[in-house]
Structure 1
């Protein structure tokens, strides 16, 4: 498994480096190239990009192994070459888990904003002024709730550690005496064949599931409503402006739905739920470990591609500048302006 550790470390180094670069580029584009018509969406984009950078750095520090085994699910940090003590390391692991909570709530807020922008009924005023700070606090509250549950009910315990010992050695060449982790050891089989449930772990897992379900349904509801709005615009659209607007909104909606669902919600949800259903999908843990690291690097790409001002500025760097006798014409379409 030494080869796996080297590959994993290399991939995570590449993803954190790319995430820092691409999110920095997006913040620069937002500050220097965005139209004033984007309004407070500029602040939301910078907020999400800064968070993605924090997520990427934490992922590099922890370099987690996301592991589903038998009756358990865990996020593990190898401490053999770490200068951190177990308590500090556990805080970083819990914070990285909390990043997942911040991500899905931030995505949900993005869908709410997008729907309000499509409505064109002046509801973007709810994202103006001091109200915007409240929207910023919601993902942080979701993330802190994850950290709290990890700290209170999903911390390491000797029985859980011993249960993981053989599995993590066989799969990742980890020593259970030199790890920290957050996770759930849902149930244990007694010698008489009965099942003993871990109430504390199960309640913590239930709390995390509730925290996941809330933004998931927000994404579904506002994503569907946004799709219906776009469908009506497509049916009624007559001018080029409307057609371009339709396509930008449609592509952004699809991308911002697929990326987090494929890389975060579905795989994490499946691995987390499998022990409760007595399903053994331990082999899938390796793939999800890489997925978890990829998200902050991929997240800003759709914004750069689907907003005309950003896309033109980004790709313009790599294009030959027109001569003085040539005229470059750029058409910018604002996909977020709220026209009342």
Structure 2
């Protein structure tokens, strides 16, 4: 759904001094309110994914501890686990719509920057604008509240991921001594996959948010800054395949299954059946050598 909404929303962003313009590059004949709704939904789904990754790490940590809540959860608890990310996603989207609607000052502030960088007339764009200060230096509290709240939602969940990842690291080192040698090898692979799955959100979800959300908050002291930050949104879309592929590559057991099925599709034989045939041929050759 996140990727599908992106196709129609075509979200992009531009940071200009102490402002961030979040707008749609969709040129289809949709009403402006529909394009704005798509922008809001895309932003909400971004926050939902952030929260979902954090919940995943919390659940893994509780599983590692052998917590009762993961062993004996009922249907209601399962619904809570799955539905929680909807809450921060909804809050993120609602705050964007309520606190970042363009007004006369914000439009005038970024109008020239949008035209100079994209040859686009701002009035024709579905947009949300976060301009944190007025011309006399006073704070625009609505826009500042949104940036603070959005940044808080993102970075709180990132902190959860980091804390759970660190705690799992130490717990797994202690717990490895209780496993057999074979199981230790498997658990080490899971831990290595965990490291990569911690790097994934960092690189693809949180780092792109820093220049976009925090840029308007940094005091510039008269320095002119203007950059296209919307290209970072494409980095976010690379997270889901990275998360899955890294896990499948690192954990050997998954690679065995993938190789066997891949091999079977193209040859009609699985790796296990090929191994069986080769073993039989080798045994037959050994018998012939013994007879000779």
Matched, 1:55 2:2: yes
Is 1:283 aligned with 2:227? yes
* Residue 326 (1) aligns with residue 275 (2): yes
Give me the whole-angstrom Cα distance separating, in 1, the residues matched to 2:250 and 2:69: 23
Give the aligned length.
269
* Bigger relative CO (Cα 8 Å, ≥ 6 apart): 1
Query: How many angstroms does 1:121 deviate by?
Result: 4.0
Q: Of the two, which has the highest radius of gyration?
A: 2
Greater displacement, 62-71 / 272-281: 272-281
| CA drift at 1:142 | 0.9
Report 1:220-235 matches (<5 A): 220-234=162-176
Normalising by structure 2, report the TM-score: 0.82
Contact 1:113 1:124 in 2 (8 A): yes
User: Does the Cα contact within 8 Å between 1:68 and 1:272 map onto a contact in 2?
Assistant: no
- Contact 1:78–1:174 (CA under 8 A) maintained in structure 2: no
Q: Is the 8 A contact 2:44 2:90 kept in 1?
A: yes
Stretch of structure 1 that moved more, 144-153 or 167-176: 167-176
Between the aligned partners of 1:281 and 1:291, the Cα distance in structure 2 is 22
Q: Counterparts of 1:293 and 1:77 in 2: how far apart (Å)?
A: 17
| Corresponding position of 1:270 | 211
Q: Tell me the distance in 2 between the aligned counterparts of 1:105 and 1:72.
A: 26
Partner of 1:34: none
Return the match for 1:253 from 194, 204, 209: 194
**Structure 1 pair 242–184 and aligned structure 2 pair: CA distance change class (3 A):** same
Take 2:241 and 2:116, find their aligned partners in 1: how far apart are those partners? Answer: 30
Q: 1:233 to 1:105 in 2, by over 3 A?
A: same
TM-score (norm: length of structure 1) = 0.71
Q: Give the drift of 1:70.
A: 0.8
Equivalent residue of 1:197, what SS?
A: coil
Alpha carbons of structure 1 residues 170 and 308: separation in structure 2 relative to 1, 3 Å? same
Distance in 2, Cα, partners of 1:245 & 1:72: 47
Aligned to 1:93: 39
Task: Give me the whole-angstrom Cα distance separating, in 2, the residues matched to 1:184 and 1:59.
Answer: 21
User: In the alignment, which of 49, 70, 92 is matched to residue 17 of structure 2?
Assistant: 70
Give per-residue Cα distances to partners, 1:146-175, cap 9 Å, x unaligned. 111011111222322232222222323332
* Alignment deviations for residues 50-92 of structure 1 (CA, whole Å, 9 cap, x no partner): xxxx11111111111122211112321024x222111111111
CA drift of 1:286 comes to 4.8
Distance 1:126 1:184 in 2: 46
Q: Give the aligned CA root-mean-square deviation in angstroms.
A: 2.5
1:146 counterpart residue number: 92
| Structure 2: unaligned runs, 5 residues or longer | 278-292
Provide Cα deviations, 1:7-57, integer angstroms capped at 9, x if missing partner. xxxxxxxxxxxxxxxxxxxxxxxxxxxxxxxxxxxxxxxxxxxxxxx1111
- Contact conserved, 2:176 with 2:187, CA < 8 A, in 1? no
2:113–2:226: 8 Å Cα contact kept in structure 1? no
Q: Offset at 1:294?
A: 2.6
CA distance 1:173–1:315, shift in 2 (3 Å): farther
Counterpart residue number, 1:11: none
Q: For 2:156, which of 189, 201, 214 is the aligned residue?
A: 214
Q: What aligned pairs does 1:8-157 form with structure 2 within 5 A after superposition?
A: 54-79=1-26, 81-125=27-71, 127-157=73-103
- Following superposition, the deviation at residue 97 of structure 1 comes to 0.7
